Structure 1
Amino acid sequence: MTEQVYPLATFYKPGWENYQHAMVKTIASLSSEQLARSVAPHGVSIGELLARMIGTRVNWFFAWMGEENAAMAAIDRWASSDESAMPAVAELVTMFEETWHVISRALDRWTPADLEQLIAPPASQQAWRRNHGQEEEPSHTRQWIVWHVMEQEIHHGGELSLALGAYGVDSFYTW
């Protein structure tokens, strides 16, 4: 009897996709003034939280694992720029949707065996870390990377929910 192999989509995708749709719906309802607000004077703005989430997706799925399309390359150039201005709401929505398409396709394609693949850090990241006196990043399994991106989204999503709630904006709900 052969073992049935299920793609990662059966495990990760339904919940993450629901989270994605809820986030996009919430982001689309925001104004540019709301993007500029933060929950505390020393905190990052709502827009910066969203940019961090996008940057995390691009860094790990594009730069580390090589999942790409033209949109990911363009978002990577934006996220890597020191002078990147905060995108408008519509652009943030597009970035969330484009990065989700890449993630979704990867989850549909990968099998549980693919999770074991060890991914080496990009050479450019290692050079940056060395130039800034930091230790080099170790290689990570694909499973570690997928979970890391999810935990970042959950973490920053909580910050986003708190910030939105502080201003009386209904946050995203996934149920």
Structure 2
Amino acid sequence: MTEQASPIVTFYLQGWENYQQALVATIASLSSEQLALPVAPHYLSIGELLAHMIDARVSWFSRWLGEENAGMAHWHEERSRDEQAVHEAAKLVAIFEKTWHVISSAMTRWTSADLEQLISPPASHQAWLQNQGLEEEPAHTRQWIVWHVLEHEIHHGGELSLALGTYGLKSFYTW
């Protein structure tokens, strides 16, 4: 008998998928000029904020959990070379969709036992922390990582929504 997907994953998946669809619809409508607008004075641009959200998906799902596709690997390579790249809506939408495919596929596949599994930080992450004079990161459960990425998106989605509203642009809603 095979174990079914965790009920908590199924709960997260539907809500997160609605969030994902609303987010990409909003991003697709933005011009390059709108993506260059600052979220707030002396803060990231809207495009940089979206790239930061993608970075978190790639870091946690690819580097920590080993869930990856070619789009995620390409994004990581590009960001490693040039973090100040100009962001185009179509490219951001494409990578949000590619990362979402990885996230939803993993969450559909994971069981309750999978969610309880401890995941050790990547060695490169630990080395970076040591070079910064910081303590090493502890292992986290898959469930903790899923929630952490989701709360990160909710937090920055709020910033995005506020910024869009400030400029009189249509924000995103999940209902």
TM-score > 0.5, shorter chain as reference: yes
Q: Match of 1:116, as an amino acid?
A: E
**What is the letter of the counterpart of residue 20 of structure 1?**
Q
Cα distance, 1:9 vs structure 2:
4.5
Aligned counterparts of 1:86 and 1:23: Cα–Cα separation in 2: 19
1:38 aligns with 2:38: yes
Q: Secondary structure at the match of 1:99?
A: helix
Q: 1:86 Cα shift?
A: 2.6
The alignment partner of 1:60 has SS state of: helix
- Deviation at residue 83 of structure 1 after TM alignment: 4.4
Q: How does 1:1-175 map to 2 (within 5 A)?
A: 5-7=4-6, 9-175=9-175
Deviation at 1:78, TM superposition (A): 2.1
Deviation, 1:68, is 1.1
- Give the secondary-structure state (helix, strand or coil) at the position aligned to 1:173: coil
- Identical amino acids, percent of aligned pairs: 68
| In structure 2, C-alpha distance between the alignment counterparts of 1:102 and 1:171, rounded to whole Å | 25
Normalising to structure 2: TM-score of the pair? 0.94
8 A contact 1:78–1:84 mirrored in 2: no
1:10 is displaced (CA, Å) by 1.8
- Report the AA paired with residue 5 of structure 2: Y
C-alpha separation between the residues in 1 aligned to 2:114 and 2:57? 18
Residues 17-62 of structure 1: per-residue CA shift (max 9 Å, x gap): 0000000000000001111111322121101110110000000000
Mean CA deviation greater in 61-70 or 78-87: 78-87
Query: Aligned equivalents of 2:142 and 2:16: distance in 1?
Result: 17
User: Deviations along 1:56-80, whole A, 9 cap, x unmatched?
Assistant: 0000000000001111111111233
Gaps of 5+ in 1: none
Secondary structure of 2:124's match? helix
